[in-house]
Amino acid sequence: MKTITIRNKVNKTIYSNIIKRICFKHDEEKVHNFFLNIGKIMESNLLSKNFIKMIFNYQDKILEQDLFGIKFRNPVGLSAGFDKNAELISIMEDIGFGFVEVGSITAKPCKGNKGKRLLRIPEKNSIWVNLGLNNNGSDEISLRLKEKEFKIPFGISVAKTNCEETTITNEGIKDYIYTLKKFNNIGDYFTINISCPNAYGGQPFSDPKVYSLLLKEIKILEIKKPIFIKLSPDLDKDTINKILNISQEYGIKGFICSNLTKKDINFDKGGLSGKELSNKSDLILSHVYKQTRKWKNKPILIGVGGIFSPEDVYRKIALGANLVQLITGMIFNGPGIIGEINFGLSKLLRTNGFSNIEQAVGSAYSNNGGNKNEKIEIKH
C-alpha cells in the first residue's frame, strides 16, 4: 500500500512540475495530438504497455461490479471526446481505466468547427470546448475496430454530423441511424449524444418531441446492446422529466449526467468542462436518480463533470452514479489520476463501511432517514 502511495505521489509531482508546465505553454490541440501519437506508439508494443501498467495502474476487488451483464473492474471511465477516433482503448486499459467511451462518432467524417476551439482555464480547472464533433466518421472507425478485442468494456458515443443538413429532423435521425447500424456489432454499449453544445443548429434532439421521433426510429433497429443517453446539464427539470419518461417507454438503459455546460458562461459559443461543471452535473445526476427510483428496470447512471479526486467520485456514487467518467481531471493532473482515484476510492469505501462499490450507490439518500434531499458525509 505504501509503495502505491509513493508511486502515485511521484507521478503527481513529475506531471505537475515538469510535464504540465511544458504542455500548458503550448496550444491545447497540438498537445492533445502529441499525446494521441505518444499513446499510439506506447500501445504498439508489449514492453511499453507493461511499463505504463506498472507506473499507473491500480485495481481493487472492492471496485468491481457487474452491470448490464458486463464486468467493470473499476468505475472510472474515459469520457467521450478524448479518443474521438477510437485509437487509444488499449493504452487506456493499461493506464487503469475501467472502461472507455469513444467518439462522439458521426455518420460522415467531420473536421469540426473553425478557428480556436479549445482553451484551458487553469484558474477554474476547466476547459472551454468548441471542437464541433471532429472525427473520421463511422465508415473508417467501424472498419478499423471490427476485428479488434479489448480487455475492458468500451462504448460508442454517437452524434449527428455537424452540418446544416442534419438540423432537419429526418436528416438528423438518418445520420444517427447510419452510425448505429455501422457499430451494431462493435463495442459494449451505445451512447446517444443529444447534448453536444458546439454543433451547428444547437441540440434539437434535447427537445422531447424530436427526441421521441429519434427513439421511435432507433427502436426499429432492435439493438441488443444497452443504449445510454447523454444529457445536457442546462435542461430544466420539466424537460428532463419528459426525456426520462420517453426513455423509459423505449427501454433506454441508462443516462450520462452530463455533457458540457453552455449556461451562464463567459463565452458566446462552445461549452465548459471541469470544475465549472461539477455542481451542475451533480444536480442533474441527483435529479435523474430520484426520478427513476420507481422504474421497474432502474437505469444505470454515469456521473461526469469535474472529477479531480477520489472524493469527487465518492460523491457522485453517493448521489446515484453506478459509474463515472472524466477528461479534464486527467488533463490537469495527468494520467496518474486514474490510479490515484481508484486507490483513494477503495480506501474511502472501506472507511465508510462498504464492502463493495455497489452498496455505496445512492447512499446519500439511504443514510438520510429516507429524506429525499441528499446528505453526504465522508469519513477519511
Footprint on this chain of ligand FMN (rule: CB under 6 A): 79-81, 84, 103-104, 118, 127, 129, 131, 133, 157, 193, 230, 259-260, 273-274, 277, 304-307, 326-329
Q: Are strands 126-129 and 271-272 parallel, antiparallel or unpaired?
A: antiparallel
Q: How far is the CB of 259 from ligand FMN (least distance, A)?
A: 5
Residue among 69 and 115 whose Cβ is closer to ligand FMN: 115
d(CA 57, CA 120): 26
Q: How far is the CB of 159 from ligand FMN (least distance, A)?
A: 6
Residue among 79 and 166 whose Cβ is closer to ligand FMN: 79
**Catalytic member of 23, 110, 196, 257:** 196
CB 292 within 8 A of CB 244: yes
The residue assigned the cell 453536444 is 196
Q: Is 163 a catalytic residue?
A: no
Q: How far is the CB of 135 from ligand FMN (least distance, A)?
A: 7
Of 83, 197, 195, 77, nearest in space to 129 by CA: 197
Residue nearest to ligand FMN (CB): 81
Taking CA atoms, 259 is separated from 106, 129, 320, in Å, by: 17, 11, 17
Own/partner contacts of 84-88, CB < 8 Å, gap of 24 or more, are 84/134, 84/135, 84/136, 85/135, 85/136, 85/140, 85/141, 86/141, 86/144, 86/145, 86/154, 87/36, 87/39, 87/40, 88/36, 88/39, 88/40, 88/43
Taking CA atoms, 112 is separated from 95, 133, 169, in Å, by: 28, 5, 20
d(CA 170, CA 378): 48
Q: How far is the CB of 230 from ligand FMN (least distance, A)?
A: 5
CB 254 within 8 A of CB 281: no
Q: How far is the CB of 324 from ligand FMN (least distance, A)?
A: 9
Residue among 11 and 193 whose Cβ is closer to ligand FMN: 193
What does residue 194 show for φ and ψ, rounded to 5 degrees? -105, 10
Residue among 73 and 230 whose Cβ is closer to ligand FMN: 230
Residue among 193 and 286 whose Cβ is closer to ligand FMN: 193
Q: How far is the CB of 294 from ligand FMN (least distance, A)?
A: 27
Residue among 7 and 234 whose Cβ is closer to ligand FMN: 234
Residues forming the active site: 196
